[in-house]
Amino acid sequence: MGTERIHNFNAGPAALPLPVLEEIQDSFLNFAGSGMSVMEISHRSKWFDDVINDAIERVQRILQLDGRFHVLFLQGGASMQFCMVPMNFLSKNDTADYVNTGTWSTKAIKEAQIQGKSIQVIASSEDQNFAYIPKNLQLTPNATYVHITSNNTIKGTQWSTFPDTGGIPIVSDMSSDIFSRPLDVDKFGLIYAGAQKNMGPAGVCLAIIREDLLARTPEEIPTMLRYSTYAQKNSMFNTPPCFAIYTVQLVLKWLEETIGGLDKMTALNQEKANLLYDYMDQSGFYKGTAEQESRSLMNVTFRLPSEDLEKKFVAEALKNGLGGLKGHRSVGGCRASIYNPTPLAAVSALVDFMKTFEQKYG
Ligand SMILES: Cc1ncc(COP(=O)(O)O)c(C=O)c1O
């Protein structure tokens, strides 16, 4: 492969906005006049304080969070949240509901069960290989929270609207669709997301936690596994992943200042997804794997008539400068991840390639 950049459809780590990468490059050796790289400055310095505080303010502004919410940066990925959520929120007599919509929900459920917590799987789409988002949830009246995965990266499904839980706080894994659309924050107690899809590089996980859930954090769990530790220390109880947080700050700045905010981002995401799904729907050669009304705007999963053709598709696409189109190893098929940073031009180029490929092999 040469020095040209390709259209990157990886599921995560995934494409970052080019202006962000360029800004990092420009300031890489001398950050903000410090004479040091951003990777070399102290996390206790004024320079880094400015970075993390600006990132937090941007999260608050973009999602229109009110004073009840704390914005935290953690490590251990979204996978660490699978265990931290029940560990922090479920004491002896508490119970929680989970909705199983695929691989990541299944893992979240398992981590609660490992700890012997009382949880119910109140709905699942496993009967149809997780091709849809369940409706009509029967919530447990005294549940402390209900856990969902807002976007299912592997199965290509997404909650198009969030359920009415009658005041039970939703805890949502938003790793693959955070900042892709506006939210009614009143419904949520905790939102968490690994950065490496829609907001930055791997190595940092964003958690947005409501005051009342934060207050539940027990003292007897290890310090580094308590949300309250991060809230009390502005996410700097220990050395945070400075470079990853800096990149998140720049991606959020790009979203606000270059894209023009969340509404514009949402419209662009819709336009990208429509372009791809509309073409697939009329082709007959490419078949989406998710049920129509549960389709993800972020991860478009599809099959070709044979596995052999799928292999050819992925290989020929790469030769044409379109990378990362192989489906997750657990499900096969093809997947185009079209997160916030993926430009419309990349999706157009993909659709053009899909047409040519269909003409050749269809
Ligand atoms: C929805 C979702 N949740 C959780 C994870 C796991 O994230 P991490 O690798 O940051 O632990 C992923 C990773 O792909 C994901 O897509």
- List the chain pLDDT tens, one digit each, 362 residues: 567 899 999 999 999 999 999 999 999 999 999 999 999 999 999 999 999 999 999 999 999 999 999 999 999 999 999 999 999 999 999 999 999 999 999 999 999 999 999 999 999 999 999 999 999 899 999 999 999 999 999 999 999 999 999 999 999 999 999 999 999 999 999 999 999 999 999 999 999 999 999 999 999 999 999 999 999 999 999 999 999 999 999 999 999 999 999 999 999 999 999 999 999 999 999 999 999 999 999 999 999 999 999 999 999 999 999 999 999 999 999 999 999 999 999 999 999 999 999 999 99
Name residue 305's amino acid: P
Each residue of 290-300: pLDDT tens digit? 999 999 999 99
pTM beyond 0.85? yes
| Cα 176 versus chain centre, distance | 2
pLDDT of residue 114: 98
Ligand 1 pocket member 173 (CB < 6 A): yes
Q: Whose CA is nearest to atom 7 of ligand 1?
A: 78
pLDDT of residue 249: 98
pLDDT of residue 1: 52
SS3 label, residue 115: coil
Ligand 1 pocket member 156 (CB < 6 A): no
Each residue of 17-62: pLDDT tens digit? 999 999 999 999 999 999 999 999 999 999 999 999 999 999 999 9
pLDDT of residue 58: 98
Mutate to test the pocket of ligand 1, among 105, 176, 180, 198 (most ligand atoms within 8 A of CB): 176
Ligand 1 pocket member 175 (CB < 6 A): yes
220 token code pair: 């007897």
Residue with tokens 């893992």: 107
Task: Report the C-alpha gap between 292 and 270 in whole angstroms.
Answer: 14
DSSP state of 33: G
Q: Check if the beta carbon of residue 338 is closer than 8 Å to that of residue 347.
A: yes
Q: What is the dihedral of CA 13, 15, 19, 21, to 10 degrees?
A: 40
Name residue 228's amino acid: S
Ligand 1 pocket member 194 (CB < 6 A): yes
Q: Whose CA is nearest to atom 5 of ligand 1?
A: 78
| Cα 6 versus chain centre, distance | 22
Residue 4 CA, ligand 1 centroid: distance in Å: 29
Residue 197 CA, ligand 1 centroid: distance in Å: 9
Smallest CA-to-CA distance from 342 within 204, 202, 176, 194 is with 176
Mutate to test the pocket of ligand 1, among 85, 106, 107, 175 (most ligand atoms within 8 A of CB): 175
Each residue of 171-220: pLDDT tens digit? 999 999 999 999 999 999 999 999 999 999 999 999 999 999 999 999 99
Task: Report the C-alpha gap between 200 and 189 in whole angstroms.
Answer: 23
Ligand 1 pocket member 104 (CB < 6 A): yes
- Atom number, ligand 1, closest to the C-alpha of residue 12: 14
Tell me if the bond preceding 13 is cis, omega within 30° of 0: yes
Residue 79 CA, ligand 1 centroid: distance in Å: 6
Mutate to test the pocket of ligand 1, among 74, 79, 150 (most ligand atoms within 8 A of CB): 79
Sorted by sequence, the CB contacts under 8 Å of residue 195 that are 6+ apart come out as 201, 202, 203, 204, 205, 206, 244, 247, 248
Mutate to test the pocket of ligand 1, among 153, 159, 178, 301 (most ligand atoms within 8 A of CB): 153
Residue 270 CB: number of other CB atoms within 10 A? Answer: 13
Task: Report the C-alpha gap between 250 and 263 in whole angstroms.
Answer: 19
Q: Whose CA is nearest to atom 1 of ligand 1?
A: 175
pLDDT of residue 2: 63
Residue 33 CA, ligand 1 centroid: distance in Å: 36
DSSP state of 259: I
Cα dihedral 279, 284, 290, 293 sign:
positive
Task: Report the C-alpha gap between 132 and 101 in whole angstroms.
Answer: 8
Rg over alpha carbons for the chain, rounded to the nearest Å, is: 21
End-to-end CA distance of the chain: 28
pLDDT of residue 3: 73
Residue 164 CA, ligand 1 centroid: distance in Å: 25
Ligand 1 pocket member 203 (CB < 6 A): no
Residues with a known catalytic role: 104, 173, 197
Name residue 191's amino acid: I
Residue 339 CA, ligand 1 centroid: distance in Å: 14
pLDDT of residue 307: 97
pLDDT of residue 302: 98
